């Protein structure tokens, strides 16, 4: 019997990096990366057994430094990338590397070993993404739906595209672009679009959102004052190729059609502090999660701008047919609403992610090391499905 009650897991460390294991589509699994200055950092592999409502964990050592960002290969369950702080010559540099977890931990649905905390396992370093010339790495993005060989990294004001070769033991820089101009040029985050044959990336820097063509590394769109303050995160609608969500320090979530950069299609103002993370549900794009320094996670039903505005899938042709046919009763799109506000955290929530195995389940992570696993309310789930 599935239950809507949250399941909470506490790490002993502060943490801000959370990733679903993208290539694992059968078992519910999240990875959490720690930020500890005093101790060796760790990656906790969290397997959620939803039948028994329990969490199993395995721990990997990440001795190179505290983890700021983590992402997983879309094709290989065992491969992940981290951005981490490294101190050299009393300067702190944020570096990036690609790792492989031990073979026996690659697939989900593991039970916790009896001695997991006393006996953590080690990650195998596959390759470093060399950033000596490019500055601090803020994130590593995998080409969606790819074979796990193409990745992009954002380093200060550079976008770097890499080919992983020789079984990912070597990262070869294949293309790059540099942001020129005045003001804060460092990229804060980015997303690789699953549309347009995966040839577009979006980046955030300062109050700007920019789209890039990965073939030419030229800009394809730019929202100049997308937010009143720093843009923190972006995500693409998985079903509508021009739709993009953004969030920022102005406490707003905005939804854009990238063909009209001058104003958002919709704005949400439900949080009371900076919003760190925005995520579209992979299957039902009306479901949007946001996480904020107000310690809350909000699940919104953005049905009017989804691919199912009338409760069923429509494409642009259907809409124009409807306009031509005045005799038929005109359907009103369903109303947008806040579905639920989750208040299990007591600290800034830096990340929220949907499970890659169960479309109704998500994890959120606050800085005090609390991971909360929640479900979309059952009543809404059945309303969407039936």
Q: Domain total for the chain? A: 2
Is 312 among the domain residues? no
Same domain, 144 and 251: no
The sign of the CA dihedral 101, 106, 112, 115 is negative
Same domain, 93 and 197: no
Same domain, 228 and 252: yes
Same domain, 98 and 223: no
Question: pLDDT for 272-285, tens place per residue?
Answer: 999 999 999 999 99
**CA–CA gap between residue 344 and residue 277 (Å, rounded):** 17
Same domain, 14 and 58: yes
Same domain, 16 and 164: yes
Is 324 among the domain residues? no
Indicate which CATH number applies to the domain containing 95.
2.130.10.10
Domain residue limits at 95 = 8-107+120-178
pLDDT given for residue 87 in this prediction: 82
Distances (CA, A) of 179 to 154, 168, 193, 213, 230: 11, 28, 19, 14, 16
The single-letter DSSP state of residue 193 is: -
Is 325 among the domain residues? no
**CA–CA gap between residue 47 and residue 112 (Å, rounded):** 9
**CA–CA gap between residue 285 and residue 354 (Å, rounded):** 12
Same domain, 28 and 125: yes
**Closest C-alpha to 276, from 289, 263, 286:** 289
Same domain, 73 and 137: yes
Same domain, 165 and 184: no
**Which ranges of the chain have pLDDT less than 50?**
1, 325, 327-328
pLDDT given for residue 1 in this prediction: 43
**CA–CA gap between residue 255 and residue 243 (Å, rounded):** 7
Is 26 among the domain residues? yes
Is 319 among the domain residues? no
Is 92 among the domain residues? yes
pTM for this predicted structure: 0.92
Domain's final residue, options 130, 156, 178: 178
Where does residue 266 rank: exposed (0-12), middle (13-18), buried (19+ CB within 10 A)? middle
Is 315 among the domain residues? no
CB atoms within 10 A of CB 382: 9
pLDDT given for residue 262 in this prediction: 96
**CA–CA gap between residue 30 and residue 366 (Å, rounded):** 14
Question: pLDDT for 115-154, tens place per residue?
Answer: 555 678 999 999 999 877 888 999 999 999 889 999 999 9
Give backbone dihedrals phi and psi of 321, rounded to 5 degrees, phi first. Answer: -60, -40
pLDDT given for residue 117 in this prediction: 55
Same domain, 280 and 381: yes
Same domain, 45 and 194: no
Same domain, 210 and 295: yes
């Amino acid at each position: 019997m599935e239950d809507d009650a949250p399941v909470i897991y506490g790490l002993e460390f502060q943490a801000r990096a959370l990733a679903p294991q993208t290539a694992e589509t059968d078992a519910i699994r999240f990875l959490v990366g720690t930020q500890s200055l005093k101790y060796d950092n760790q990656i906790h592999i969290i397997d959620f057994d939803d039948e028994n409502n329990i969490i199993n964990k395995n721990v990997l050592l990440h001795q190179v430094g505290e983890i700021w960002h983590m992402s997983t290969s879309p094709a290989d369950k065992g491969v992940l990338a981290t951005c981490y702080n490294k101190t050299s010559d009393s300067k702190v540099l944020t570096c990036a590397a690609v790792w492989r977890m031990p073979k026996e931990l690659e697939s989900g649905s593991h039970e916790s070993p009896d001695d997991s905390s006393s006996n953590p396992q080690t990650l195998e370093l596959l390759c470093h993404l060399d950033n000596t010339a490019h500055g601090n790495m803020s994130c590593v993005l995998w080409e969606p739906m790819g074979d796990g060989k193409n990745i992009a990294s954002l380093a200060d004001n550079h976008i770097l595209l890499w080919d992983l070769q020789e079984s990912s033991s070597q990262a070869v820089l294949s293309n790059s672009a540099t942001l020129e101009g005045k003001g804060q040029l460092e990229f804060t985050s980015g997303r690789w679009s699953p549309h347009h044959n995966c040839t577009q990336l979006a980046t955030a820097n300062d109050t700007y959102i920019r789209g890039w063509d990965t073939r030419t590394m030229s800009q394809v769109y730019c929202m100049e004052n997308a937010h009143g303050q720093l843009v923190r995160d972006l995500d693409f609608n998985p079903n509508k190729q021009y739709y993009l969500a953004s969030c920022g320090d102005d406490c707003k979530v905005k939804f854009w059609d990238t063909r009209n950069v001058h104003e958002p299609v919709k704005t949400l103002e439900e949080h009371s502090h900076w919003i760190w993370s925005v995520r579209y549900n992979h299957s039902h794009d009306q479901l949007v999660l946001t996480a904020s320094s107000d310690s809350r996670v909000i699940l919104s039903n953005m049905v009017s701008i989804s691919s199912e505005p009338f409760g069923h899938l429509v494409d642009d042709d259907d809409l124009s047919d409807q306009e031509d046919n005045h005799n038929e009763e005109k359907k009103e799109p369903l109303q947008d609403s806040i579905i639920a506000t989750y208040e299990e955290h007591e600290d800034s929530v830096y990340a929220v992610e949907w499970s890659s195995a169960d479309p109704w389940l998500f994890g959120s992570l606050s800085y005090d090391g609390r991971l909360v696993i929640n479900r979309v309310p059952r009543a809404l789930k059945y309303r969407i499905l039936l």
